[in-house]
Amino acid sequence: MTKKQAQKRIKELREITSYHAKKYYDDDNPEISDFEYDMLMLELRNLENQYPEFIDSDSLTQKVGGTVKEGFEKVEHEVPLQSLLDIFNFEDLRAFDERTRKVADENNIDLKYVVETKIDGLSVSLKYENGEFVRGATRGNGNIGEDITENLKTVKSIPKKLKEKVDIIVRGEVFISKEGFEKLNEEREILGESLFANARNAAAGSLRQLDSSETAKRPLDIYIFNVQKSDTIKFKSHYESLLYMEKLGFNVNPVKIYCNTIDEAIKAINEIGEDREKLSFGIDGAVIKVDDLQLREILGSNYKTPKWAIAYKYPPEQKETILKDIVCQVGRTGAITPMAILEPVKVAGSTISKTTLHNEDFIKERDLMIGDTVIIQKAGDVIPEVVEVVKEKRDGTQRKFEMPTKCPVCGADAVREEGEAAIRCIGIECQAKLFRSIWHFASREAMNIKGLGYSIIEEFLNRGLIKNIADLYTLKLEDIKTLKKDGTKFAQNLVDAIEESKHNDLSRLINALGIRHVGAKGAKSLAKKFKTMDNLMNASYEELINVDDTGEITAQAIYEFFEQEQTKDLIQKLKDAGVNMETQNSESDDNRFEGMTFVLTGALEGYTRDEAGEIIENLGGKVSSSVSKKTSYVLAGEDAGSKLDKANQLGITVITEEQFNDMIK
């Protein structure tokens, strides 16, 4: 490579790494694997070392990736939260040992190491004064981070008060366990929300919520791994400080191996690599730290990384195997996912016999055929993936795979909408979707069946008490009360709530059916236009597209939904159960709130928020979830929060429930 070519490549790499660092650190939404990013950074670092005249202060080799997110207060770290230099082989680790040992010998200090797992999460600092937790912050750019104290207070494993009254700043990694991550994604799938790509993104995104109540819903945990600053006690060694932090009540990294030599450190790294599958949390490497704190002071740091620690990254292990078959699984939202059935092969400590192929595009991009020899890898703790096909091993026996046009579970149409990668089953009685369908049907904005929550639905299904949505209306008191100890009162309340739901307006029933792209607002427009369920079921595409808030894609989704035999079957069962099929909201000429936008906040005495919102919409107004300059009124009840504050800041008119009642008389 010529000098000019090197300069050009360095510039390209800086742009590429800056883009991906932003996606990783700031957006919590990476587009490439950690290993791919590491390789880009390694190439950039090697080129800059070879051509130091091209080193620039804006290069990510010279600074910590990450910025302060808007909406958080800035925190200047009393001790910088540096990143670590990554290495990928033991030759580089031995070179690190030689450099470190030379300084240790010159200062007559015994060189020992501590090897720890490099936890895959979000790095934070925690400050305690007199033993009380006073502030927590993200790493940010290393010198300035985000104040996330309130969010960190929701993490149960962070002590609010230490066992001794000390002044101390510690550093740790907030993460979500493997089990917690699986459960979190399962819940998001049921809610129809996008799934997290990995546990690190989930943890980082959770901690950077502007609303701490949202953070509290996430299964966050923390391991502390370093004392940043201590005004109360002085330590001689890192290992000693870890044991003391445990004594204070901190949740300290459980993998901390004391090593007398670099050979022992390499052995420890290999042991961690072999056992990583057994860990309850994800890791993306091992960290090797100098134990003696005096030696650390002498070694010091450079612009970005300490000279007394280094990170060993485990290379992704790749293996060849046979793609024996491709089968399709149907998720709880109806998404049909192709799965690779593989000849079992051991990769990175675990036997892999199947893995996801994501969607139709993934298969086409890699030109996968059943019978192919493929290369799979498991980089870090991510799901194993098919990397590429070994095309030279094709012998003509391979065959192409086509995504199904019918759901493999229930036989309903499988549809791929424009702009989407997933193919979805649209059958409302599909057993694969049943949990999600019932959960949505009973939700507050749909049929509002109070008491019919996540665990109760699961119990009904496990016991075979319901096999479709309409079975809710055949449940008996005796069936329900066995779900809970002394469950008679609970059972009666749930039976009453189910009975009451029969009398809901047609718009709630339309929303409850879970038609793609039709929410509460669209359901109201459909009910207003067609008046009865029969009219809606028999509507043509042309009639549907002329409804307010209904575009081409939504109209097509509605039309296809009501063409399904499963839909017709369910509607008939609901009719037989006595569920209302007509709109109850008579049209009114009273549009007194036309052109006005209301925001509701706090608890109202006379109405639920949904009821108040319905009144506003029936009088021609709109309801918004956020306050802006376009807001006409903020209706504030008890314990109104940040929306009330914002309304006052913007000079928006705030009304009480009493004033609202006067407005609707």
Question: Distance between CA 518 and CA 308 in Å, rounded?
Answer: 58
Question: Distance between CA 281 and CA 181 in Å, rounded?
Answer: 10
Instruction: Give the pLDDT band (50/70/90) at residue 25.
Output: low
User: Encoding tokens for residue 254?
Assistant: 């459980």
Instruction: Give the pLDDT band (50/70/90) at residue 346.
Output: confident
Tell me which residue of 72, 75, 93, 71 sits closest to 84, measured CA to CA.
93
Residue whose tokens read 């290999």: 270
Domain locations in the chain as residue ranges: 3-54, 74-312, 317-393, 426-576, 597-664
What integer pLDDT is reported at residue 485 of this predicted model?
74
User: Encoding tokens for residue 354?
Assistant: 């199947």
Tell me which residue of 561, 517, 520, 526 sits closest to 546, measured CA to CA.
526
Instruction: Give the pLDDT band (50/70/90) at residue 638.
Output: confident
CB distance 433 to 332 below 8 Å:
yes
DSSP state at residue 506: H
Q: Is the pLDDT of residue 65 over 60?
A: no
Cα angle vertex 513, ends 577, 551, to 5°?
140
DSSP state at residue 641: -
- The CATH H-level (homologous superfamily) assignment of domain 317-393 is Nucleic acid-binding proteins (2.40.50.140)
User: Encoding tokens for residue 536?
Assistant: 């809606």
What integer pLDDT is reported at residue 642 of this predicted model?
78
- The CATH H-level (homologous superfamily) assignment of domain 74-312 is DNA ligase/mRNA capping enzyme (3.30.470.30)
How far CA 137 is from CA of 167, 173, 227, 481, in Å, comes to 16, 11, 15, 48
Q: Phi and psi at residue 271, in whole multiples of 5°?
A: -65, -40
Instruction: Give the pLDDT band (50/70/90) at residue 347.
Output: confident
Q: Is the pLDDT of residue 401 over 90?
A: yes
User: 565 by DSSP, 3-state: which?
Assistant: helix
Q: Is the pLDDT of residue 349 over 70?
A: no
Find the catalytic residue in 22, 63, 118, 489: 118
Q: What is the pLDDT of residues 272-287, one digit of tens each?
A: 988 887 888 988 899 9
Interaxial angle between packed helices 199-207 and 178-190, expressed in degrees from 0 to 180 and rounded to the nearest 10: 80
For the chain, how long is the longest CA-to-CA vector? 92
7-15: Cβ within 8 A, 24+ apart:
7/51, 7/54, 9/43, 9/47, 10/44, 10/47, 10/48, 10/51, 10/54, 10/59, 13/40, 13/43, 13/44, 13/47, 14/44, 14/56, 14/58, 14/59, 14/60
Residues 6+ apart with CB under 8 A from 630: 597
User: Encoding tokens for residue 322?
Assistant: 């046979």
- The CATH H-level (homologous superfamily) assignment of domain 426-576 is 5' to 3' exonuclease, C-terminal subdomain (1.10.150.20)
Q: Enter the pTM of the model.
A: 0.61
The fold for domain 597-664 equals Rossmann fold (3.40.50)
Q: What is the pLDDT of residues 112-169, one digit of tens each?
A: 999 999 998 899 999 999 999 999 999 988 899 999 998 999 999 999 999 999 999 9
Tell me which residue of 507, 457, 466, 108 sits closest to 294, measured CA to CA.
108
Domain 3-54 is of which CATH architecture? Answer: Orthogonal Bundle (1.10)
Question: Distance between CA 117 and CA 227 in Å, rounded?
Answer: 17
Torsion of the alpha carbons at 121, 126, 131 and 132, rounded to the nearest 10: -100
CA 215 to chain CA centroid, nearest Å? 11
**Sheet strands (E) in 121-279:** 122-129, 132-138, 144-146, 168-176, 220-230, 256-259
Tell me which residue of 586, 600, 591 sits closest to 620, measured CA to CA.
591
Q: What is the pLDDT of residues 538-581, one digit of tens each?
A: 999 999 999 977 889 899 999 999 999 999 999 999 999 999 99
What integer pLDDT is reported at residue 399 of this predicted model?
95
Q: Is the pLDDT of residue 585 over 80?
A: no
Is 484 known to be catalytic? no
CB atoms within 10 A of CB 175: 26
Q: What is the pLDDT of residues 416-468, one digit of tens each?
A: 887 788 899 999 989 988 988 999 999 988 999 998 988 899 899 989 999 99
